[in-house]
Amino acid sequence: MSTDQQDVLIGARLRSLRKIAGLSQTQVGDALGVTFQQVQKYENGKNRLSGSRLITVCRTLKTTPDALLGTKSKASNGQVEDVVDLLNDPTIRKALHALQKLRQPQRTHAIRAFVELVQVLV
């Protein structure tokens, strides 16, 4: 994997973790002392995060460098990283957006049916 591809993957993880944390690009930018446009560049992989900014991002998003870098530490067993990688899958995001459109209790029923289907397939 080239460095540029790695920057894109780190940026995608940054975007997913930021959204999971419920923060805007502006809020992350404020924590880093940069503009939201700079956060966009990090998320698109156009600019690289320095070591100190990476640590600040992790503190802001309440995550670990492992989750942001896509490495799997023994302590985390890769669970956070696996979820972040799943959320970067366009098909998964499309399914989640479809589920968001459902009202309760239909959403709960749909999720249960999906889980049951996956358990049968595994």
User: 23-33 pLDDT, tens per residue?
Assistant: 999 999 999 99
Q: What is the pLDDT of residue 119?
A: 85
Q: Give tens-digit pLDDT for 49-99.
A: 999 999 999 999 998 888 888 776 545 555 656 777 777 778 888 888 888
Domain locations in the chain as residue ranges: 3-88
The architecture that CATH gives domain 3-88 is Orthogonal Bundle (1.10)
The dihedral region occupied by 62, where left means phi > 0, alpha psi between -120 and 50, and beta the remainder, is left
Predicted model pTM: 0.63
